[in-house]
Amino acid sequence: MSPAKEGLVRFAIDARASLFTVQAFASGIAAVVAHSPKFAVRDIAGEMEFVPETMQDASLHLTINVASLEIMDEVSRQDRREIERVMFDEVLQKSVYPRVEYKSSRVNMSKSSENVYRVNVSGHLTLHGTTRGMDLDAQVVIGEDTLRAQGAFVLSQSDYALKIASVAGGSLKLKDELRCAYFIIGRR
């Protein structure tokens, strides 16, 4: 094992302490009165590894259980059932594609201040059976036993062959763009 690998530390994601959200945006003629649904990812797993002194050999791996998405908005029980049916059955097809996965191919970390880093991750996102390159930027705070990472990114549903959801006879349709935000806690 090389000297760099010997000092490798691993932080596993604490799903209960972390928050990952996906915001969809309404369009169409009913968009003025409709809301843009926001979903929380309740089941996320993964890890980040690196050598603390040099930040060498850094890597990131995340897995999301698609069935764990939950609408955060206050909606009626009937609307919730319809939104979840469309999201899980028509758009994400959770029975065919139960997981979303991200694996890094390169991680660049630069120190901003004591224990605070700007991180750029290049990797591949697999969603709905399609894998595409995706870069993520984050601010990361590294403690002795915890790691906190936060950031946001935009995802186009059409890049992953996702059906753009529509309801009410097409008068309410979601935009192609999804905004994802995360505050991830990792524990050593």
> For 43-63, what is each residue's pLDDT tens digit?
999 999 998 877 788 999 999
At 35, the pLDDT band (50, 70, 90 cuts) reads low
Superfamily of domain 3-23+37-161+178-187: Lipid/polyisoprenoid-binding, YceI-like (2.40.128.110)
> For 66-80, what is each residue's pLDDT tens digit?
999 999 988 888 888
Query: What residue ranges do the domains of the chain occupy?
Result: 3-23+37-161+178-187
Residue 73: the pLDDT is 86
Across 109-136, average pLDDT = 95
Across 28-56, average pLDDT = 78
Q: Of 4-8, 27-31, 44-48, 175-179, which range is least confident?
A: 27-31
Contacts of 148-153 with C-beta under 8 Å, sequence gap 24+, read 148/183, 148/184, 148/185, 148/186, 149/48, 149/119, 149/182, 149/183, 149/184, 149/186, 150/181, 150/182, 150/183, 150/184, 151/181, 151/182, 152/179, 152/180, 152/181, 152/182, 153/179, 153/180
> For 148-182, what is each residue's pLDDT tens digit?
999 999 999 999 999 987 665 555 678 899 999 99
CB 165 within 8 A of CB 174: yes
Residue 31 has pLDDT above 50, yes or no: no
Residue 2 has pLDDT above 50, yes or no: no
| Residue 38, number of CB atoms within 10 A of its CB | 15
Q: What is the mean pLDDT of the chain?
A: 88
For 77, 166, 170, the CA distances from 31, given in Å and listed in that order, are: 21, 11, 11
